[in-house]
């Protein structure tokens, strides 16, 4: 097994940028300058921890709550914001919005707004990797809601039978749109389900980026060495509503308050302070992220709208 180390300050920078991006997007939405979107607030440690454990040649498929995964992979916040605002300099020329982003240069094959849609596609991508003898594994992010879909069974079963190099990452954030996980499934988690398919699994605290990284690195190594799938469950909580704007009136206030006490950014900041970093050093990271987002907004605002003549360029029949 390879030795893996996570730079915690770099992790904080990326997690803080993700949070700043989502906060900026919510502000733009309130101003009527962007459309509704599903934020990844509360999932920053899962995104950064897992993506940090991937290799450059690995491929990613993800879902509608994808900004954290894209930014953790190195996406430019200006281009990502331009895409959400429907501008030509976005990753998909302004045609994808926030729910269907593809960034080939980052190895992000697609994001799917269909719940579990990426589960139905990752097996095909992994089969291609295997048949073409390519080195990369396939990382497939999905939520606990998708684990209640038939595609979850179909995907894990096929990946196990065909021995496909898929790292499944279930980001269990306790919410399935506007419905709590407890209302839709029995049992406390998702990871244990993998055993029925002969697939190894692990569950980890999704609010602790270091723990997520360690678990993801171990899981990714297992997929590389065996060529078989692995299911990693990261346990966290969705700190904002399903689709912005959302007042979260359906969320138990006491439960939300408890989980806010485990905010992944605060957890990491406390760890770094205990390691001897001064609060001023950590505050500088926040200012850096805010400055990057100011530049990102300026870039997106300056980007022109797409040419209507190109509307059907990527539509196939």
What CATH number does the domain containing 249 carry?
3.40.50.970
Using CB atoms within 10 Å of the CB of residue 162, give its burial: 0 to 12 exposed, 13 to 18 middle, 19+ buried. Answer: middle
Per the CB < 8 A criterion, the answer to whether 242 and 251 are in contact is no
In a domain, 2, yes or no: no
In a domain, 305, yes or no: no
Name the token pair of 306: 């797409």
In a domain, 279, yes or no: yes
Looking at residue 158, what is its pLDDT? 97
Instruction: Give the predicted TM-score (pTM) of the model.
Output: 0.94
Name the token pair of 145: 């809601």
Per the CB < 8 A criterion, the answer to whether 164 and 126 are in contact is yes
**Chain segment 58-101, per-residue pLDDT in tens:** 999 999 999 999 999 999 999 999 999 999 999 999 988 888 89
- Helix-strand-coil split of the chain, %, nearest 5: 50, 15, 40
Q: What distance in Å separates the CA atoms of residue 129 and residue 293, rounded to the nearest whole number?
A: 36
Query: Could you tell me how many residues make up the chain?
Result: 317
Q: What distance in Å separates the CA atoms of residue 206 and residue 40, rounded to the nearest whole number?
A: 13
In a domain, 1, yes or no: no
Q: Is the pLDDT of residue 317 over 80?
A: no
Looking at residue 7, what is its pLDDT? 93
Percentage, residues of the chain above pLDDT 90? 86
**Mean pLDDT for the chain?**
94
Can you give the residue range of the structural domain that contains 74? 8-295
In a domain, 313, yes or no: no
Token look-up 């700043």 returns 20
In a domain, 42, yes or no: yes
Looking at residue 76, what is its pLDDT? 98
**Cis peptide bond prior to 245, omega within 30° of 0:** yes
Q: Is the pLDDT of residue 3 over 70?
A: no
Rounded to the nearest 10 degrees, what angle do helices 44-52 and 8-30 cross at? 130
**Chain segment 134-154, per-residue pLDDT in tens:** 999 999 999 999 999 999 999
Number of domains in the chain: 1
**Chain segment 182-204, per-residue pLDDT in tens:** 999 888 899 999 999 999 999 99
In a domain, 306, yes or no: no
CA proximity to 143, closest of 38, 48, 228 = 38
In a domain, 277, yes or no: yes
Three-state secondary structure of 249-263: CCCCHHHHHHHHCCC
């Amino acid at each position: 097994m390879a030795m893996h180390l996570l730079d915690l300050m770099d992790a904080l920078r990326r997690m803080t940028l993700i949070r700043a991006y989502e906060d900026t997007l919510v502000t733009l939405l309130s101003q009527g300058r962007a459309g509704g979107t599903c934020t990844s607030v509360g999932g920053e440690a899962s995104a950064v921890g897992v993506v940090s454990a991937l290799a450059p040649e690995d491929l990613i498929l993800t879902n509608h709550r994808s900004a954290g995964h894209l930014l953790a992979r190195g996406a430019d916040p200006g281009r990502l914001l331009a895409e959400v605002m429907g501008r030509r300099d976005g990753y998909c020329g302004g045609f994808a919005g926030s729910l269907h982003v593809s960034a080939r240069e980052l190895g992000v094959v697609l994001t799917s707004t269909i719940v579990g849609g990426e589960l139905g596609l990752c097996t095909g991508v992994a089969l291609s990797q295997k048949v073409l003898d390519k080195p990369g594994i396939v990382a497939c992010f999905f939520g606990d809601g998708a684990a209640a879909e038939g595609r979850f069974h179909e995907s894990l079963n096929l990946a196990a039978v065909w021995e496909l190099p898929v790292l499944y990452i279930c980001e269990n954030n306790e919410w399935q749109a506007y419905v709590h996980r407890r209302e839709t499934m029995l049992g406390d988690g998702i990871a244990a389900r993998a055993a029925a398919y002969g697939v190894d699994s692990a569950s980890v605290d999704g609010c602790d980026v270091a723990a997520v990284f360690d678990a993801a690195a171990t899981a990714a190594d297992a997929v590389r060495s065996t060529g078989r799938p692995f299911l990693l469950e990261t346990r966290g909580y969705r700190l904002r509503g399903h689709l912005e704007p959302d007042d979260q009136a359906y969320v138990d206030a006491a439960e939300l308050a408890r989980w806010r006490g485990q905010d992944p950014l605060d957890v990491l900041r406390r760890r770094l302070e205990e390691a001897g970093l001064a609060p001023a050093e950590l505050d500088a990271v926040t200012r850096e992220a805010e400055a990057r987002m100011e530049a990102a907004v300026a870039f997106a605002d300056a980007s022109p709208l797409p040419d209507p003549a190109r509307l059907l360029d990527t539509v196939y029949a």
